[in-house]
Amino acid sequence: MSSPSSTSLVPRISPSILASDFAHLADELGRIETADWAHVDVMDNHFVPNLTLGLPVVEALAAVSPVPLDCHLMIEDPDRWAADYAEAGAGSVTFHVEAAADPVATARSIRAAGARAAVAIKPDTAFAPYEELLGEVDMVLVMTVEPGFGGQSFMADQLAKVRAVREAVRRRGSEIWVQVDGGVSAETIGRCAEAGADVFVAGSAVYGADDVPAAIADLRDRARSHLCG
């Protein structure tokens, strides 16, 4: 008999539009219609040393995207802003634990606005102090690069954290998704899946490919064959 803790994991691919052509974002979203989500990196030039896009652009993208938006907020004061991204039409809103003053209230505000709520953890941040947040979120994002830029090298030392998050989720018998973001490619996705990730952000590996739908299918197949299920 199966229990929630033995439910098979389903691989989900979330291409990051950070690696796409910002002059043609609607078209670039159209190229990933076979993906599960579209990952949108919101950077404020304070929490990370880079600046991308904000609420008005997310609202415009949500109106045309063929897949739901997975917004990754790399911003200060997410307590103030996170729910607005849900209201703008994002299907999932992720904020960093390092930036949030009250992560429980912020997660609840996202869910109250109708989106999935998620917390992100930077490479130098330990997961253990935040384990109690599992009762408040739908996904945990384990960063596999320092947030701020696409195209960086995968940090394999973060796989232990992926494993720890997945084990904590299993112990609770919960269905929380575990996402990895940064340097995820055909070469690294198998190790992420083996460690317990089930949602995979990939920027350069998708938008840098000659055949985008084929790259998405290949990543999904590789993840599926390594999932720790």
Q: Which residues are catalytic?
A: 41, 181
Closest contact distance (angstroms) between CB of 138 and ligand DX5 is 18
Contacts 24+ apart (CB under 8 A), 133-136: 133/97, 133/103, 133/104, 133/107, 134/168, 134/169, 134/172, 134/174, 134/176, 135/172, 136/103, 136/104, 136/107, 136/108
Which residue intervals of the chain are DSSP H helices? 25-30, 55-64, 78-87, 103-112, 159-171, 189-195, 204-207, 212-226
Piece of the chain touching ligand DX5 by CB under 6 A; list 23-31, 56-64, 75-83, 149-157: 149-157
Q: How far is the CB of 157 from ligand DX5 (least distance, A)?
A: 16
* Minimum distance from residue 170 beta carbon to ligand DX5 (Å): 26
* 147 binds ligand DX5 per the rule CB under 6 A: yes
Which of residues 12, 72, 96, 220 is near ligand DX5 by CB under 6 A? 72
Question: Cβ(219)–Cβ(206) under 8 Å?
Answer: yes
User: Per CB under 6 A, does 150 bind ligand DX5?
Assistant: yes
Q: Enumerate residues 170-189 that contact ligand DX5 by CB under 6 A.
A: 181-184
Quick one: what does residue 223 bind among Zn ion, ligand DX5, none, with the CB cut-off 5 to 8 Å set by partner type? none
Looking at the DSSP bridge assignments, the partners of residue 71 are 40, 93
Say whether residue 220 binds Zn ion (CB under 5 A). Answer: no
Q: Does residue 19 bind ligand DX5 (CB under 6 A)?
A: yes
